[in-house]
Amino acid sequence: MSALEVRTYGPAEAKPRVGFFTDTSLCIGCKACEVACKEWNRVPESPQGFTGNSYDNSIDLGANRWRHVAFVEQRKELGADGVAANGLVEAASIEALVSETGLQTYQDGDGLRWLMASDVCKHCTHAACLEVCPTGALFRTEFDTVVVQQDICNGCGYCIPACPFGVLDQREGDGRAWKCTLCYDRLKDDKEPACAQACPTDSIQFGELDELRARADRRLEQLADAGLEGAQLYLADGSDGIGGAGAFFLLLDDPEVYGLPPDPVDTTRDLGESWAAVGVAAAGLAAALVGSVLFGRRR
Amino acid sequence: MSAARSSNGHAQLGSFPAAVEREPPRAPRSYHGQPVIKEPIWHPEIPWYFFTGGLGGASAGLAWLAELRGNDVLARRAWIGAFVGTNVSPILLINDLGRPLRFLYMLRMFKVTSPMSVGSWVLVTSGGAASAAALDALLPPVPRRWRTLLRLAAVPARPTAAMAGLPLATYTGALIAQTAVPVWHEARRELPALFAAGAAASAGAFATALTPVADAAPARRLALMGSMAELALVALMEHRLDELAEPYHQETAAAYAQLARGLTVAGSLLLASRAARSRPAAIVGGALVLAGAVCERWSVFKAGFQSARDPKYTVGPQRRRIDGGLTRGASRRVVAAAARAAGRARSA
């Protein structure tokens, strides 16, 4: 069984695993995904004010933000990540790079690099939120996505610190935990999720995971060949700490620059250690009780 | 660091590949300094529950064993601790839910992967058993049918309460350890033991304060043993956490940690020196140790929030794991075609 395979459903019910490939090199930061998600899923408004963090005023994923576009401004010379510092060379390379790869993240002239990335729930293969959920509100669908059943969630809040990506949060005034459903309702009607449909540059690509991964591999090679050494596929295969994700990314810098953990793990893999520690502690407590009551003076 | 400057600060002519200058280890990078993971949303009910659950769980064991040893004076006081602890606990927990009316959904399933699910069942078992045992021990033996039924129910309830009390006092350590919060998850081997020690100290201190000194010797021993273990385990946990333990030395968590240490040391000194002769000393000493145990839970609770809030605690250890070759991380890169060809040419 490959790590990306999840066997919750039998062959009769299971659908091919679907997900998102978010190619951040194509993102123009328009936030259409954030808006489309809110409209389709009727996610309440989340006014945040002005952050001063580039064009990001929605801050992070949460109960009322299931897509979030990150903006990073870097002053970074272009071409093989730092080789060509000369402005003219740079401008020429930008044109070449844009025509060659469709890269959207450089602006002409001043060596300023924009990194924009639309973040979303990763729909992990090994999902910590689902494992710790005491009510079974969080479940795995026939598409191998991870969804909160809102009629079951009792707002215990365990999934919120359990998620290694900080995706889930509690909705104020509602009390329950909310996150991206990968448009479960639309999937059941054979429609792509709202964010992917709204994305004007195909930075967000929806499809069957196997196909998306093959596409991502080709894209990574193309960008590497064009000299983007920082380009990396994030969560694209099953060898990471969450067994691979249903939503994976092509990033142009390290994950933490986008607010993503570089080595996320599903803490359930350490469950045995935790329960063993409980066993040892309980035995120790029993020994202390027996020792203090049954030995020494009776009164 | 600008690529146009070498590491010794001299301006370079032109620009050369960064390979010649090895950058010193940097502070972990982040997205505008924002947290990677979410802080828990749990309210003050939760650290209080860590305390009441520990008190109730360990008190049930103390009560049952004291009963077996024939010390009914102590046993009755300890059953009070078990009753109060295990009955206040569910009230606190239900109150903390985002949807309190759905508290029964906690018993929809039993999930070993969710310490909260396991804990819910433990609390139900322990609360039911401890309540029956405590009521039987405390209520007068009137000739009524319900009283006879209670007496019969208490026979299996007493050992059940004592046994279920052990996981009740310790599973909360696993509960917070099974999160992405670094200061909790990386302390998964110590937290249950720390909570067990706090539970022993609480149950011992509670019974010491309530019991006449002549009958309280086992409770005093338990309180002292628990207090010593609590102090030692905090030190061990911080040592093992290494730099991840920083939150315990900052802000609110540090204040509670210091308070906990002070109260526990003062309380146990008083218990050890005077509580065998003086009831007031037993009451004050017991109260100090109880307050110390409360503060210790609050310190752990607050440290989790502080640890989750700062991305360096999340990113730093993960990046070091990758740089140290312990894991490959979640990213995969490829070498450009030109470099691949050059590599082939060199090896040929």
| Residue A114 reports pLDDT greater than 90 | no
Cα nearest neighbour of A224 on chain B: B336
Task: Note the pLDDT of residue B305.
Answer: 98
8 Å CB contact between B138 and B76:
yes
Kindly determine whether residue B166 and residue A282, on different chains, have CB atoms separated by under 8 Å: yes
Which position has the token pair 């990396």? A232
B220 falls within a domain: yes
A4 falls within a domain: no
Structural domains of chain B, count? 1
Kindly determine whether residue B37 and residue A166, on different chains, have CB atoms separated by under 8 Å: yes
Kindly determine whether residue A134 and residue B116, on different chains, have CB atoms separated by under 8 Å: yes
8 Å CB contact between A104 and A58:
no
| Residue B10 reports pLDDT greater than 90 | no
Q: What is the CATH number of the domain that holds B82?
A: 1.20.1630.10
Task: Note the pLDDT of residue B337.
Answer: 76
Q: Which of residues 134-173 of B touch A (CB under 8 A)?
A: 166-167, 169-171, 173
| Residue B16 reports pLDDT greater than 50 | no
Kindly determine whether residue B188 and residue A274, on different chains, have CB atoms separated by under 8 Å: yes
Kindly determine whether residue A285 and residue B196, on different chains, have CB atoms separated by under 8 Å: yes
B323 falls within a domain: no
| Residue B21 reports pLDDT greater than 60 | no
**B contacts of A167 (beta carbons < 8 Å):** 38
For the ranges B20-29, B77-86, B301-310, the lowest mean pLDDT is seen at: B20-29
Q: Which helix (DSSP H) or strand (DSSP E) does residue A133 occupy?
A: none
- Is any Cβ of chain B less than 8 angstroms from the Cβ of A285? yes
Mean pLDDT for the stretch of residues B93-121: 97
Structural domains of chain A, count? 1
Kindly determine whether residue A284 and residue B196, on different chains, have CB atoms separated by under 8 Å: yes
Mean pLDDT for the stretch of residues B213-236: 97
**A contacts of B221 (beta carbons < 8 Å):** 291-292, 296
The torsion angle over the Cα atoms of residues B114, B116, B122 and B128, rounded to 10 degrees, is -140
**B contacts of A53 (beta carbons < 8 Å):** 32
Residue A17 gets which letter from DSSP?
-
Residue A215: count other Cβ atoms within 10 Å of its Cβ.
Answer: 15
Chain B: closest CA distance from residue A240 (Å): 5
When pLDDT is cut at 50, 70 and 90, the band that residue B14 belongs to is: very low
Mean pLDDT for the stretch of residues A258-273: 97
Task: Note the pLDDT of residue A20.
Answer: 98
For the ranges B13-27, B147-161, B288-302, the lowest mean pLDDT is seen at: B13-27
Kindly determine whether residue A290 and residue B65, on different chains, have CB atoms separated by under 8 Å: yes
- Is any Cβ of chain B less than 8 angstroms from the Cβ of A4? no
Kindly determine whether residue B178 and residue A233, on different chains, have CB atoms separated by under 8 Å: no
Mean pLDDT for the stretch of residues B250-257: 98
Chain A: closest CA distance from residue B193 (Å): 4
B13 token code pair: 């002519």
From the list B293, B235, B245, the residue with the least C-alpha distance to B57 is B293
Mean pLDDT for the stretch of residues A275-299: 92
Tens digit of pLDDT for each residue in B145-203?
A: 999 999 999 999 999 999 999 999 999 999 999 999 999 999 999 999 999 999 999 99
8 Å CB contact between A78 and A111:
yes
Chain A: closest CA distance from residue B41 (Å): 6
Most confident segment among A101-110, B232-241, B323-332? B232-241
Task: Note the pLDDT of residue B155.
Answer: 97
Q: Three-state SS for B190?
A: coil
B345 falls within a domain: no
Q: What is the CATH number of the domain that holds A67?
A: 3.30.70.20
Domain that holds residue A124: 21-265
A299 falls within a domain: no
- Is any Cβ of chain B less than 8 angstroms from the Cβ of A70? yes
Task: Note the pLDDT of residue A107.
Answer: 57
Task: Note the pLDDT of residue A111.
Answer: 64
A13 falls within a domain: no
For the ranges A41-50, A216-225, B105-114, the lowest mean pLDDT is seen at: A41-50
Mean pLDDT score of chain A: 89
Task: Note the pLDDT of residue A108.
Answer: 52
A72 falls within a domain: yes
With left for phi above 0 and alpha for psi between -120 and 50, is residue B177 left, alpha or beta? alpha
| Residue B7 reports pLDDT greater than 70 | no
A120 falls within a domain: yes
- Give percent above pLDDT 90 in chain B: 88
Task: Note the pLDDT of residue A77.
Answer: 55
Q: Which long-range contacts (CB under 8 A, 24 or more apart) does B152-160 make?
A: B156/B129, B157/B128, B157/B129, B157/B130, B157/B132, B157/B133, B158/B63, B158/B64, B158/B67, B158/B129, B158/B133, B159/B64, B160/B125, B160/B126, B160/B129
Task: Note the pLDDT of residue B23.
Answer: 52
Tens digit of pLDDT for each residue in B256-269?
A: 999 999 999 999 99
For the ranges A295-299, B59-63, B95-99, B201-205, the lowest mean pLDDT is seen at: A295-299
The whole-model pTM stands at 0.90
Mean pLDDT score of chain B: 92
Mean pLDDT for the stretch of residues A251-264: 96
| Residue B289 reports pLDDT greater than 50 | yes
Task: Note the pLDDT of residue A214.
Answer: 96
When pLDDT is cut at 50, 70 and 90, the band that residue B107 belongs to is: very high
Tens digit of pLDDT for each residue in A77-100?
A: 554 444 444 344 455 566 666 676
Task: Note the pLDDT of residue A47.
Answer: 78
Distance CA B109, CA B250 (A): 39
Task: Note the pLDDT of residue B338.
Answer: 73
- Is any Cβ of chain B less than 8 angstroms from the Cβ of A83? yes
Task: Note the pLDDT of residue B278.
Answer: 95
When pLDDT is cut at 50, 70 and 90, the band that residue B1 belongs to is: very low
- Give percent above pLDDT 70 in chain B: 92
As a whole number of Å, the end-to-end CA separation of chain B is: 37
For the ranges A44-53, B142-151, B254-263, B274-283, the lowest mean pLDDT is seen at: A44-53
Most confident segment among A70-84, B227-241, B323-337? B227-241
B23 falls within a domain: no
Cα nearest neighbour of B338 on chain A: A225
Domain that holds residue B61: 45-311
From the list B176, B180, B179, B178, the residue with the least C-alpha distance to B315 is B180
Task: Note the pLDDT of residue B341.
Answer: 75
- Give percent above pLDDT 70 in chain A: 85
When pLDDT is cut at 50, 70 and 90, the band that residue B346 belongs to is: confident
Kindly determine whether residue B330 and residue A259, on different chains, have CB atoms separated by under 8 Å: no
